[in-house]
Amino acid sequence: MDLARAAAEEAAAPGVVGEHAGVVSEGDRVVTHYFESKDPGYRGWRWAVTVARASRAKNVTLDETVLLPGPDALLAPEWVPWSERLRPGDMGPGDLLPTEAEDLRLEPGWTGEDEPPPNSAVSDELAELVDSEDAELTDRPVAATTRGSIAAVADELGTRRARVLSRYGLYEAADRWDEAFGPNTPMAQAAPATCVSCAFLIPMAGSLKQAFGVCANEFGPADGHVVSLAYGCGGHSEAAVMPKPVRPAEHALDTMRVDEYALRPERGGGSVPSEADGASEDLGHS
């Protein structure tokens, strides 16, 4: 054990080798001595010194000295490749995210034989071929179709992308969008109606328009996001339509016409004559 401690103290910094923590037999005449480590950066680790004695030999020889983690040692997490550590939102301005040549989410955009060169979606060579396409369109017959002409035709048809989403990549994106803004979310469960009948839904093109759209309600929780047609929120355009203001009734009195009223009643218009007769004077009436 003295030989093992001396070997551990020689390999470690002064004062970091602690008490003897046990011995383990590794085989015939081979044992490993463990010593506690007092280094604050290696709490729970142990110095392991393996010693051996050859057959019919009297002297013990040193095999190896190494610092090993103990049962309660603090270890670093298991190493994970960067492609698996990356999460949505990790990319910043200037960051580049390369894609594998055999990425299952992508497939060639022109034909099955037109694969993009390594490390670039459109390489310098392909760009030069596209630029020289006009020079190739001459009166002389072209022996074979070049890759540049394929790129020019694809550009004219609006499909110049080197690679496009594969069916697998499309389904993967659809599952991700449906999980974030789909019918099973708490917001959709409490919504009065679905997005398929909302005026703020912007339809998508291609096969995705059968299940997804883009929300354009600035006050909604999914503004600017791809939402499922079965998603919904309280900002539905027809969820709570504001009532029209009550139209006041027209005035019954015409205030635009001036009515003339006489100060004295007209003659013969009343029930009492304006002039008294002679018989009434005889009776004492005035």
- Look at residue 148 and give its three-state secondary structure: helix
Query: How many Å apart are CA 169 and CA 226, to the nearest integer?
Result: 16
Q: Which tokens is 25 given?
A: 């037999």
The pTM is what?
A: 0.44
pLDDT tens for each residue of 254-283: 666 777 777 776 666 656 665 655 555 555
In tens, the pLDDT along 3-60 reads 888 888 888 877 888 888 888 888 888 889 888 888 888 888 888 889 898 888 888 8
Report the share of the chain in percent with pLDDT over 70.
68
Sorting pLDDT into bands at 50, 70 and 90, what band is 153? low
Provide mean pLDDT across the span 215-224: 90
Write down the pLDDT at residue 138: 46
The sign of the dihedral angle between the CA atoms of 140, 142, 147, 153 is positive
Instruction: Please identify which residue in the block is written with the tokens 């006041």.
Output: 248
Selected residue with higher pLDDT from 135 and 81: 81
In the predicted model, what is the mean pLDDT of the chain?
A: 76
φ/ψ of 119, rounded to 5, equals 65, 10
Tell me: the pLDDT tens digits for 71-88?
888 888 888 887 788 887
Q: Report residue 201: phi and psi, to 5°.
A: -85, 125
- Predicted confidence at residue 148, as pLDDT, reads 52
Do the beta carbons of residue 67 and residue 12 sit within 8 Å? yes
Count how many residues are written for the chain.
286
* pLDDT value, residue 224: 93
